[in-house]
Copies of this chain bind each other. A is one copy, B any other.
Amino acid sequence: MSHQQFSSSILENAVNEFSKLPGIGRKTALRLVLHILKQPVTDAEIFSNSILQLRKEIVYCKVCHNISDSEVCRICANPSRMNEIVCVVENIKDVMSIENTQQYHGLYHVLGGIISPMDGIGPNNLEIESLIKRVQAENIKEVILALSTTMEGDTTNFYIFRKLAPLNIKITTIARGVAIGDELEYADEVTLGRSILNRIDFSNSFK
């Protein structure tokens, strides 16, 4: 479609803009644009405005660094959440994934990345100092480390662990093991090995 001559430069421009989005090719972009053309003007106005608002009005929560509409995010401001537990995650997507499980009712702390010397990301580029200060200042009893099981994730976990260790709080990490619904024979040996080492009492497995 690269040499395609559009009869309208406005259409062409809109197709170009949509194709800049990740995973959206020119054919899909054209389909989306033709769809918008058929919708009422007010719908296009609302859509257009939601994009502008998204980029211009979203801020980061000053407590947990998650995205937010105001200084303190909905989760931090919710009085029914357990404020003695903080779950440390890499990014805002991880917060969404955990929220999605509906199994966690504590607070979060978004690092904004993980320690990765290869990418030039050190502890000072992340919200680690603010985590330590938060644990020191607030009545936090447990910090759950929920980072990726990669070398970078392990490095970050260990760095945070060493910083938090003197503060006399419980430090945990999320369980690793064979995924629910997965057959044993297809699990990789490291995961399977971990799931045997960290086996739990059978009666606890129904909780």
Residues of chain A whose beta carbon lies under 8 Å from any beta carbon of chain B:
1, 3-11, 13-14, 16-17, 20-24, 28, 30-37, 39, 41, 43-58, 61, 66-69, 73-75, 92-93, 95-96, 99-100, 102
Query: When chains A and B are docked, how far (Å) is the Cα of A92 from the Cα of B100?
Result: 42
Query: When chains A and B are docked, how far (Å) is the Cα of A193 from the Cα of B48?
Result: 50
* Residue from B8, B41, B51 in contact with A48 in the complex, judged by beta carbons closer than 8 Å: B51
Q: Contact between B58 and A52 (Cβ–Cβ < 8 Å)? A: no
Residues of B within 8 A of A69 (CB): 8-10
Q: List 12 A-B contacts (CB under 8 A).
A: A4-B99, A5-B74, A5-B75, A6-B96, A7-B73, A8-B58, A11-B67, A14-B51, A17-B50, A21-B32, A37-B55, A37-B58
Q: Contact between B7 and A67 (Cβ–Cβ < 8 Å)? A: yes
